[in-house]
Structure formats: C-alpha cells, structure tokens
A and B are shown apart, each in its own frame.
Chain A
C-alpha cells in the first residue's frame, strides 16, 4: 500500500453504521474517498422458504423509519404474484399512507438529523450540534419538526392502527380496512398547520442557502444521471408509474422504462470493501452509469410536480441548477421540503376524492404468477422488491435494491469532492469531519435498509499514511 488513508468511522446521525476512508497519494493529494457500509443483515436470505404474503410483514422490518415504503414495494410485488389489479380505493389509501411516510421521514431527516448542521452551524461543537442543541437554540423550529413528523405518522396510524410496522393493514391485493370519514376529518384538522410549517421552512432554508452560497459548490456538486418514477405524463410520482432517467443536462436518456423489468437496465456491482452493492445504469456500464435517486433526483426527472404550490417552488428550485437540473447534493434538503409540500397538497386531493372511502379495497386471489416485482419511491429513492416463488407461493429467491444503494457511487464522489477541498497537512480536521458528515446526511442514507443492517451510530475518523499506518484518529 503506497498511499495514505483517512478514515471516518463511524458516521453519526444517519440510520445505520458506516465509515469513510480517504486515500491520499504519495504527494498528499486526495486520490479517492470510500463510503464503507460495514454490516450485513441478509433479509434476502431470511425470507426464503416463507409464504409470499408474509413478505410485507418481514420486509418492512428492514427499517423503522420507512417501513411503509418497504410494505408498499413488497405488497406491490405480491400483487404481481396474485396477478390482480387492486381496487382504486386501495391504491388511493396506499398512496395516502405512503404520503404520511414521506412527510414523516423527510421531516425526520431535515429537522432531527440535518438541521443542526445548517442551523446551529456546521463547525459548532458536536455536543451542541444535535437535536437537543436545536431544541435549546431554536425551540420553535424543533417543535415544528416534531409536529410535521407527527402529522405524517398520524396519517399512517389513522389508516393502519399503528405508526410503525403496520404490516397487517397492507395486504397483497389491497388493504384490509377502509378509511372512515371520522379519521379523514382528523387528518384534515391538522392539514393547515402542516402546510404552514412546510411553507415557513422552505423560506427559512432559502435564507440558509444564501448564507452558504460561497461554500455550496464544494458540497457534493458533481454531474451524474438521475433516476426516479414519473407518472405517464411525466409528473412527480411516488407509488407507481414509469422509471425515467435524465442526464446532467436534463436530457431524458430513458423515459419510459418498465419498473418491473429493472434487471434489464440496472446492474448491481460489488466492491470488496463494502456490504452495500453498487447499482449502475447498464447501458453505460460500471462505474460510468452512476446515477442518483431520492428527492433531488425525483425533482430532476419529473417534468412537474402536478400540484400548484409545489410546482411554484419547483420553478425556484430549478433556477439553482443548470438547464433545470440541480446537481448539488446539499440541495437534497431543499428537494425534501418541496416534496413535503407536494405530499401535503396530495393529502387534500386524496381526501377530497369520494373513491377513497369505498369499501371495495381488497382483490383476493391465489398464486397466479411465480414472480413479482414491486417498485415504489421511498423517501430516499427508488425501492425495488423482487420475489420468485414456487407454485404454492413459497418464496424461493428474492432481490432487493434499496434507495440508499442507488446512491452508493454518489456517496463516494461527494465525499471525494469534500475531502479534496478540506484535507490539509494529512490530518483530520474538524472542518473535514463536519462536512463529510453533513454531505452524507444530505443524501440521507438509510444503511439499515441498504444492507438489509442494524447497528449503533457514532463517528470515527482514521488517517492512514502511505504504508497503511494510522497517523491520526478521531472518534465521537
């Protein structure tokens, strides 16, 4: 080993466990940075031998933050195995639940995990730069975050009876119980305050952007392709639709890909230093086929949102990019806020639709196909569940591609960019540490999902010299 390595291990305030190594060449310049995901869970193997209809329940246990997305992708794969078109009301109710999920997860990412970085200041003392510091310094913002998250969680609870792992409600073929008018009214009663919080925080974030304008270009600003679901009209979509891929100039390079045939255009590469796989766009090969998913990518691929307020904000958002494509990883936060706005608007749209209250919510069938693929847009990006079963519905093989995995190559690029700017004198400085963390949080990884992992959260940075010897180490 004739290069030096800096290691950040583990990374804090993300879901899961990871470390970062930064490799220096002999002249001390940054060669590359690697985002290592260090744990393995093996959900794809666990589910073998289980009945297909247990998959939503098992797979949603991958994550406590976004169980609904796993539930949906899994249930959609099971719908395929049943070979049914689920009733319209079931689609609407599943969408409503997913909206609740996106609102709560985005609020968690923005207010709980990332806001301390940009509200308290990225260079502040780590012991103050957390949710408790936020509560102390900006109690109103913290309260807003908690309230917005609670709005999303309550939608899930009103529909499914519980906020986390509500796996009994979503079933292959539909949902188990309809939405009552009473529950609908309870959701409506909190609608206005949620909308107010979302709008206020968009304004607040724009102020922050102005203050950060000098630094933004070093926070993960690099070209990649972008992937996300869009409706048949090309609008923003989270539950169903078509996969669209655009390049960094906004050109649609694949506009109407069938999500069920993801394996035809998405390849999965592996590296010996990470348990997280490296998906890439097959026609461009590995690693040139690097693409990003998630809120930023969804807004880049969509022609428009399809709701008035979110569309207004999308126009503002696009001004920050080139040719309408926003490259900066830090702007994932902005995209997240726009999606929250979009989702709140969608809540009203769904609650106003009389079909939402129909009692025709479950298409019952037995195993009609031995294979099913379910794709949904999880808060962190495109989520793919793929099962193969025997003729009775026992799962023989499964494959999952999780949102965070799609961004794996982008993590390495973003961290490399930050490292190049902030590595000085072959030592780990706070500036580097904080920005590496901040950029990873902007992408909002969920590693427990991505390695299908569970572990504690902390930060450890290790610097290696050219012989592989540890020069410096910082642990939080």
Chain B
C-alpha cells in the first residue's frame, strides 16, 4: 500500500489512525480488534463474498463488509453488537443450508473454518431448510480433488490460482445458487492444460471442498501461504 494521508477512525470506541485507501478490516486487524472473516485471506485481494465481516458504521442504517469498505475520516465503527451477531449467525446458516455439509464425514472435520465459525456463533442447528441436491465430485486429477458438495463459493481458490500462482485455472460459472467453481473451460481436472498442480487452491480452501487425496487435512491447509509468497516476492 502506498503512503497516503492519515485517516482517524474509531473502532469499538478505540481511536485508530490509519491511511486513506485502507479497509476497515485491515485497520481493525492492525489495532488488534477481531472481526470474523471467511472468504477473506491475508495476501489475497478482498472479495466481499461471505458477508461474515460485516460491521456497523454509526449514522448509517446499512451494514458494511469490512474487508472491502475503505476507511474515511471520522467514521465510527462497531464490530460486535447483538445485531451483527444475529446477522452473522444467519449468514452462516444460509451458507450451511446451501449444500449438504456433513461435518462427521468431511475431510476438513476439526480443521474447518466454517465449522469453527459455526461453533463460535452457536449454530447448532439450521432454521432454514437444507438443500440436499448432490453435486459433482471431480476425482480425475492424480491427487487433487474438488467436491462441489462442500464448496461455499468463497473464491479463495480462484484468487490464489490467479493472484499467487498466476495461472487462473479456476474460475466461477453461472450465478446465484447455480454458481460453481470451474477448471479451465469447465473441464475435468485431468483435462486441464493450465493447472500446474501447485496445490495452493487446497492450501487456502477454508472447508473440505478442495483437498489433496490421502493427506490429512491439517497437513494440506496453509492459511499463511499467500502472505508468505507475497512477502518473499517483496510485493
């Protein structure tokens, strides 16, 4: 981030000095204030897809995703309130109800960011009827697997593939509930000519949607990978 004019904001009553162009989330992080996130990952561009990091801005009836909302001088931000907890819980329920998520048989069980958040917000059941339609599992690659039944469409894999590995094998097709991560031109993984099999998609996947076969999930996952590579590149 280039050096720009300082900006003074208040987060949960604490005065924080940051700079123009910074996001609420990164300002809060630097100030040591926790905001829950799911699609956001250090080192990748912000996507604003999951809506877990919503915050209240005093004077506005709207809720703002903190990962994509830039700071502006004098704003007062609330990161934790009854209203926010209610919405975050509902968001998690909506994500969970969209696909047949079954933790007990998932490779990510015990190492899943969605599961951790559900625990944090007390999602012990869903108030929304679940969608049980089975989705495709691509087992064609030698060791990488994508199970669309577990994908929460956070697009971390797409961003890691594009921004870190620089090959843009992965992308999203369709819209709304039909959205799906695709490989190249919606092909089987084995047919992909651009995939370098670098595994970064598996490292950043917050759930058990992309993983390396035969490897314990705890060994595959690396939330620091994007930040680490970028820091070595000096960017």
**A interface residues with partner B (beta carbon < 8 Å):** 49-51, 53-54, 57-58, 61, 165, 167-168, 171, 176, 364, 366, 392-394
Q: Residue B137 contacts which of A176, A364, A366, A394 (CB distance < 8 angstroms)?
A: A394
| Contact status A51-B145, CB under 8 Å | yes
Q: Are B105 and A49 in contact (CB under 8 A)?
A: no
Shortest Cβ distance from A362 into B: residue: B214
Query: Which residues of the other chain, A, contact B213 by a CB distance below 8 angstroms?
Result: 53
Interface contact B105-A57, CB-CB below 8 Å: yes
B60 at the interface (CB under 8 A from A): no
- Pick the most buried of B104, B134, B139, B142: most chain A CB atoms within 10 A of its CB: B139
* A41: min CB distance to chain B, Å: 14
Q: How far is the CB of B131 from chain A (nearest CB, A)?
A: 15
Contact of A50 among B104, B137, B140, B216 (CB under 8 A): B137
User: With the chains together, A394 CA to B139 CA distance in Å?
Assistant: 8
User: In the complex, are the beta carbons of A49 and B137 less than 8 A apart?
Assistant: yes
Residue of B nearest to A53 (CB): B213
In the docked arrangement, what's the CA distance between A58 and B140, Å?
21
CA distance in complex: A57, B134 (Å) = 18
Which residues of B sit under 8 angstroms from A366, Cβ to Cβ? 142
Contact A54:B105 (CB < 8 A) given known A364-B214, A392-B140: yes
The size of the chain B interface, using a CB distance under 8 A, is: 11
Q: Is the CB of A51 within 8 A of B105?
A: no
Secondary structure of the B side of the interface?
A: loop
The complex places the Cα of A271 from the Cα of B20 at a distance, in Å, of 75
Whether A165 pairs with B104 at a CB distance below 8 angstroms is yes
Contact (Cβ within 8 A) A392 B139? yes
- Cross-chain contact B104 with A61 (CB below 8 angstroms): yes
A171 to B214, CA, bound (A): 8
**In the complex, A61→B105 CA distance in Å?**
9
For B214, the chain A residues whose CB sits under 8 A away are 53, 171, 364
Q: Which residues of B contact A57 (CB under 8 A)?
A: 104-105
Extra inter-chain contacts (15) besides given A165-B104, A171-B214, A176-B216, CB under 8 Å? A49-B134, A49-B137, A51-B137, A51-B145, A53-B213, A54-B105, A57-B105, A58-B105, A61-B104, A61-B105, A364-B214, A366-B142, A392-B139, A394-B137, A394-B139
Task: Give B residues with C-beta under 8 Å from A.
Answer: 104-105, 134, 137, 139-140, 142, 145, 213-214, 216
List, sorted by A's number, 19 A–B pairs whose CB atoms are closer than 8 Å.
Answer: A49-B134, A49-B137, A50-B137, A51-B145, A53-B213, A53-B214, A54-B105, A57-B104, A58-B105, A61-B104, A61-B105, A165-B104, A167-B105, A171-B214, A364-B214, A366-B142, A392-B140, A393-B139, A394-B137
Closest Cβ–Cβ distance, residue B191 to chain A (whole Å): 13
Name which residue of chain B comes closest to A55, CB basis: B105
B64 CB to closest chain A CB (Å) equals 40
Contacts of A168 in B (CB 8 A): 216
Q: A51 to chain B: which residues have CB within 8 Å?
A: 137, 139, 145
In the complex, A49→B132 CA distance in Å? 13
Query: Which partner residue on chain B sits nearest A60 by CB separation?
Result: B105
Chain A residue nearest in CB terms to B134: A49
Inter-chain CA distance A135–B105, complex, in Å, is: 36
- Kindly state the separation between the CA atoms of A80 and B218 in the bound complex, as whole angstroms: 27
Chain B, Cβ-Cβ closest to A177: B216
Residues of B near A393 (CB, < 8 A) are 139
Query: Which single residue of chain B is at the shortest CB-CB distance from A57?
Result: B105
**Which single residue of chain B is at the shortest CB-CB distance from A366?**
B142
Residues of A within 8 Å of B137, CB to CB, are 49-51, 394
**What's the Cα separation between A164 and B125 when bound, in Å?**
23
Q: How far is the CB of B99 from chain A (nearest CB, A)?
A: 14
9 nearest A-B residue pairs (beta carbon): A392-B139, A57-B105, A58-B105, A49-B134, A393-B139, A51-B139, A392-B140, A394-B139, A51-B137
- CA of A176 to CA of B219 in the docked complex: distance in angstroms? 13
Q: Which residues of A contact B139 (CB under 8 A)?
A: 51, 392-394
Inter-chain CA distance A418–B216, complex, in Å, is 52
- Complex formed: what's the CA distance from A61 to B103 in Å? 12
CB closest residue in chain A, given B109: A168
A463 to B67, CA, bound (A): 68
Residues of B within 8 A of A58 (CB): 105
Q: Select from chain B the residue with minimum beta-carbon distance to A367.
A: B139
In the complex, what residues of A have CB within 8 A of residue B140's CB?
392
The minimal Cβ–Cβ distance linking B222 to chain A, given in whole angstroms, is 19
CA distance A61 to B104 in the complex (A): 9
Residues of B within 8 A of A50 (CB): 137
Q: How far, in whole Å, are A58 and B107 apart by their CA atoms in the complex? A: 11
Give chain B residues whose Cβ lies under 8 Å from the Cβ of A176.
Answer: 216
Q: A198 vs B204: C-alpha distance in the bound complex, in angstroms?
A: 51
